[in-house]
Amino acid sequence: MAADQNKLDSEEFDNHFREHYNWLCYCAVKVTKDMDVARDLVQDFFVYFWTNRDRLQIEGSFKSYASRAVLNIAVSHMRHTKIREENNSAIAGEEADNSFDTGTALQEQEFRISRLFEAINELPEQRKRILIMHQFGKLKYAEIADKLSLSKNTVKTHLKLAYKILRENLDY
């Protein structure tokens, strides 16, 4: 029975990984602006999640928990990166950037990203799925159409409407 439970946990973990990896990479890349760093941070999250799965108690959906966790990890990474760069600049004798301005910019960026995620989550499920596949999975219209058994024009329409709604909700 214990072996079956571990297998179930492993299968559940694999499902979470497959279902949410691209979305979480997108969440992280919006903060880091570097896809390789974003992938590393998401990988770190899943390693942490797996090693601490017995102690974690997730209230709400896994996607919400994971999105917030990855955002926090990414913002923390950016802060640490900034501190490292400032220390390297100080060692080299260069002036450090004004940390207040950078801190304010990071807070504003975190707020804007949070608003973006909320707006994306409010999209109808099919539209959200197509947007994520296109933006995060880097799939072409035809590939999305094939995977979802839709026409290419339907995919284009969903994306057009998703971008329109996001622009309206985010005042862009």
pLDDT, tens only, 99-142:
555 667 778 888 888 888 888 888 999 998 998 888 877 889 99
d(C-alpha 66, C-alpha 76), whole Å: 15
As a whole number of angstroms, the distance between CA 77 and CA 94 comes to 22
State yes or no: pLDDT of 94 exceeds 50: no
Instruction: Band the pLDDT of 154: cuts 50, 70, 90.
Output: very high
1-43 residue pLDDT tens = 334 334 437 888 888 889 999 999 998 998 999 999 999 999 9
Which residue blocks in 33-140 are alpha helix, DSSP H? 35-51, 62-92, 99-121, 125-135
Distance from C-alpha of 162 to C-alpha of 139, rounded to nearest angstrom: 16
Structural domains in the chain, sorted by start: 2-108 (no CATH), 122-172 (1.10.10)
pTM of the full structure: 0.50
